[in-house]
Structures are given as C-alpha cells and as structure tokens.
C-alpha cells in the first residue's frame, strides 16, 4: 500500500497534528501513542514527498486555507497541495458554522458546489486545469441568476423568482472552473450604499464584533463573505458605489468596471445605463484574475508594477467635504508613502466633481428615474413588502421632470469630456472611497433622517465615477479606530487593465 497517496490531505494533516499534540502532552500515557502516530505520520510524509505529494508545511496549513488569496489557492491546487473538493467542503462547513443567521448567504448552492469541485478535482489530477482560478470557490451577489436558485435581489417581492439559466458572468466563471458557493445578501433592489436590509437581515461589518455596523451597500453580503473568510473572492454590482463602498468598509479591493465592459445579461437591473459588474477581492491580483474571466479578456500584467514616476492627482475640493479626521489622516499617510516610493502626487481642483454634485442636488437622484421606470409596476403594487427607505429612493423620480433629467444627462456628457481632458496627463485621480467610516446600524434603522444622511455620505464620492462613466478601484489604505479606510482611484473609461496595474503599484507602496 502506498501510504503517501492512500490518505487524504486532511487525514495526513490530522495524523501529524495528533502526533505532535500527544508528544507535547505532560502525561506519560500519551508519549508512546504519540510517538507511534508521529512515526506513522513521518512515513506518510516520506512516501508523499517521494511521489510529489503535499509538502508537510502545507499539511499543517490545512486550517489556514481560508487565509490564502484566491490565486494562491489556485496555485496550490495546480501543484497538488490543496484538493478542490476538500477546499470547497471547508468553505461550506465555515458558512454553516459562521453564518447561522443566514444574513451573509441568502442561498448556499451546496450540491452545485460539490459537483463543480469534483470536476475541478478531476481536471487537477489529470493536468487539465482551465486556468488560475480553476477549483476556487466564489460567492455571488443575489442579483446574478443561477439556474434553479431564486434571485431575490434582496427583496421579498422576488423571493420566488427562479431563473432557468445562469447569468452570463456566472456562466463564464463556471467555464473557467470556479466553484459557486451560493448567493449573498444585499441592499434591497441594490438601491442603497449602506447595506441595511430589514427583510433578510443585515450582515454586520466584519471589523467590529461589539457594535453591529453597516457593511456597505449594496454588495453587502458579498464583501462580508470575503472579509469573514466564508469565500475567497466574490462578484458584486456597482451602480453608484455598490462594489467600492462595501469593499472599502470591509478592508477589501473592489473594482468598478466601465458600463458595458462586463455583460449584465442575467443580472437584475437597477439603472441599466449605470449598472456595472465587478469583483471584490483580497488583493489587486485576485481582482485582476477574476476581472479577466468576467470580461472575457486578458488579465493585466502585474509583474514589476511600481508607483515610481507615476503622476497622481488628488482633488482638493468636494471629495473631502465632511470627511472624518481619521479618514483624512489615513489618506494623507498613504499619499506620503506614494511620494516616498517615487510617485508624483499633485493637488488641484476638479470643478467637474462640483458640477456633477450640483446636478444631483438641484435635479435629484439621477439614478432614480430609470430605476423607477424599470420597476414601477412592482413598486406601486407591492411597496408594502419593501423597505420604506428603498421605496423612497425610487419615488424621488416622481418629483423630477423629464426635461430636467434629459438636460442633466446632456450636461453629464459635456462634463465627462471636460474631465477627461483635465486628467489626461495623470495616471489616476485619488481620493477617499467614502469620507466616513461604517456607521452603527441601529441608529440608522431608528431614524429615517439619519439613514438618508449616512447614505448620501457613503455614496458622495463613489457616484462621481458612475455618473462620469469612469473605471474605478478601491484599495485598503489603513484603519482609523479599528475600522478600514479605502483609497479610491479613478481611471479612464474602459482602461481597467491600466487601472489595475497602477493599483498594484499603489498596493505595494502602501504595504511597505
């Protein structure tokens, strides 16, 4: 019998651990059994190494798989150091153990996950892996259709909406070998930057175990699933900030793609002209790899990325309005690190940002008219089943004239052209992702005015990128009071790969 290959990875790991624990015991009765188990474990190690099986260092890391990035897991599976089935089972077990109130995952697709993991296992064993994320588990915001599983959009009105086909993006990820763990919670209809959902419960922010805080919206469960290590990577949507806000508030990387770059077929819409699909990940490399799958293109080359010689513009106007002192301090420290690594950081006004904000203040919520037109029948017939704060956002459109909205859209096109001309000489524009840290949930649920104020603050900067049709990336920039702060980059439309390269350089500079 071949000891090195007849035992599963988990059995090998447990065998080594058991021997170590018994040998370390002070009880004489444990020494001999411990020694026998340890000798047996060493025989397993010796034969496993002879056959190119898992190194002992990785056997002892079984419990730490969830600390690994998605790409690192993929590499380990390619080298035979992690079994795709065991990895998937470990995540399913974590979800069952940690998400007992089901506020993170609205649906766990365990049967599908196991079937996809088994297929990945066979490919790995035969050297036929489909790509770097083959076998890697992934969670999906519950706006993405998954055949046979309800797409609720975080709303009671869609509880029984069961699609027959996968969304295009989910199908692409499946063809790349990724393992679908299930569907994650979100703000109802994806129409809030806070992530509060009274219908299905709110997944609390991962960084405060004492005071339940907003996870950020609308991709709330997506972000929390990664931050709480219930999934290594996830996909969300961003209409006004819904990838970047929860990513920033949970210490993650979040990519807002340019509208149309990633297909939205099979994704419940909010405002089709502004809706975008993008990854939330542990680092830029993971986001880059998943973005390539979602858009059907090539991943950016991140080798040798650096900020040396890069020119960044930091607006000194509206993006800092009402920013918390801790957020400002974190960002200023980040800018100093960039300069220390050879970047050129310039300050200056970006009047287009003021003009876009004035349009929102004077005309109204520019996402509401299309969103209300999309879902008017549902809202008017079933508003009693919806969260009142979300219904209010839809009905803002009732007080907006079609002429004013058309004029605002015309002005936006002009502002885009002016903005792109202004920033043509820079590699990216940098600012706080949000000027505030995640607020406590309870006061916002109890006070409609407080909810509205916090929601506007959360979306204040991010919405600029959507209304100007830019690509955007948020990166972790440190913490204040134990809560994460995000650094947001604006890139050019449809230049996501360039943005990711610059983001990788900034990520390295901030980590040094």
Q: What contacts 232, CB < 8 A, 6 or more positions away?
A: 66, 68, 69, 70, 73, 91, 136, 137, 138, 226, 282, 286
How far apart are alpha carbons 360 and 460 in whole angstroms? 10
Summary count for the chain: helices (H), strands (E): 20, 11
**Could you say which of 90, 146, 218, 504 is catalytic?**
218
**What is the Cα–Cα distance from 330 to 156, expressed in whole angstroms?**
39
Three-state secondary-structure class, residue 131: coil
From 146, 219, 242, 472, active-site residue: 242
The answer to whether the CB of 387 falls within 8 A of the CB of 198 is yes
Pairing of strands 179-184, 234-237: unpaired
Count CB-CB contacts under 10 A for residue 2: 12
> Any catalytic annotation for residue 242?
yes
What CA–CA distance (Å, rounded) separates 31 from 13?
19
| DSSP secondary structure of 439-470 | PBHHHHHH-HHHHHHHHHHHHTTHHHHHHTT-
Q: In what order do the strands lie in the sheet with 137-141?
A: 105-108, 179-184, 137-141, 234-237, 277-281, 253-256, 471-480, 483-491, 428-432, 311-315, 344-348
Contact at 8 Å (CB) between 364 and 397?
A: yes
- Asked if 392 is an active-site residue, the reply is no
337 is known as an active-site residue: no
Residue entry with tokens 């009402």 = 322
Length of the chain: 512
Catalytic one of 139, 141, 146, 155 = 141
Residues 300, 293: Cα–Cα separation, whole Å: 12
Query: Active-site residue numbers?
Result: 141, 218, 242
């Amino acid at each position: 019998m071949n000891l090195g290959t007849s035992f599963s990875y988990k059995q090998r790991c447990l065998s080594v651990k058991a021997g170590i624990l018994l040998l370390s015991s002070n009880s004489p009765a444990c020494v001999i059994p411990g020694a026998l188990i340890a000798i047996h474990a060493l025989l397993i190690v010796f034969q496993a190494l002879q056959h190119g099986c898992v190194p002992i260092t990785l056997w002892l890391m079984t419990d730490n798989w969830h600390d690994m990035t998605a790409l690192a897991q993929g590499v380990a599976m390619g080298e035979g150091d992690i079994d795709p089935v065991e990895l998937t089972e470990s995540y399913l077990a974590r979800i069952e153990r940690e998400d007992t109130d089901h506020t993170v995952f609205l649906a766990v697709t365990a049967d599908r996950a196991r079937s996809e993991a088994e297929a990945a296992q066979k490919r790995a064993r035969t050297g036929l892996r489909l790509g770097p994320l083959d076998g890697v588990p992934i969670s999906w915001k519950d706006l993405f259709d998954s055949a046979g599983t309800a797409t609720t959009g975080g709303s009671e009105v869609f509880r029984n909406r069961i699609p027959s086909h996968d969304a295009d993006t989910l199908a692409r990820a499946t063809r790349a070998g990724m393992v679908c763990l299930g569907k994650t919670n979100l703000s109802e209809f994806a129409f809030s930057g806070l992530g509060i959902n009274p219908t299905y419960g709110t997944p609390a922010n991962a960084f405060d175990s004492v005071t339940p805080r907003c996870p950020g919206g609308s991709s709330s469960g997506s972000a929390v699933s990664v931050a709480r290590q219930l999934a290594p990577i996830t996909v969300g949507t961003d209409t006004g900030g819904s990838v970047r806000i929860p990513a920033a508030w949970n210490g993650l990387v979040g990519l807002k793609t340019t509208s149309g770059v990633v297909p939205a077929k099979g994704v419940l819409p909010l405002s089709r002209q502004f809706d975008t699909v993008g990854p939330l990940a542990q680092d830029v490399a993971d986001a880059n790899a998943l973005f390539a799958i979602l858009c059907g293109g090539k991943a950016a080359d991140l080798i040798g990325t650096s900020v040396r010689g890069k020119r960044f513009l930091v607006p000194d106007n509206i993006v800092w309005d009402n920013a918390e002192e801790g957020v400002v301090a974190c960002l200023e420290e980040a800018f100093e690190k960039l300069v220390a690594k050879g970047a050129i950081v310039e300050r200056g006004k970006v009047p287009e940002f003021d003009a876009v904000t004035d349009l929102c203040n004077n005309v109204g919520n520019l996402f509401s008219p299309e969103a209300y037109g999309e879902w008017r029948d549902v809202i008017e017939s079933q508003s009693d089943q919806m969260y009142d704060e979300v219904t209010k956002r839809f009905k803002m459109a009732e007080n907006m004239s079609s002429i004013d909205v058309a004029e605002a859209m015309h002005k936006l096109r002009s502002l885009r052209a002016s903005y792109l001309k202004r920033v043509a000489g820079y590699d990216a524009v940098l600012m706080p992702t949000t000027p505030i840290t995640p607020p406590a949930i309870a006061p916002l649920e109890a006070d409609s005015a407080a909810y509205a104020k916090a929601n506007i603050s959360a979306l204040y900067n991010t919405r600029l990128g959507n209304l100007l049709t830019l690509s955007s990336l948020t990166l972790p920039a440190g913490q204040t009071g134990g809560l994460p702060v995000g650094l947001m980059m604006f890139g050019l439309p449809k230049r996501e790969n360039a943005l990711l390269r610059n983001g990788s350089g900034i990520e390295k500079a901030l980590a040094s």
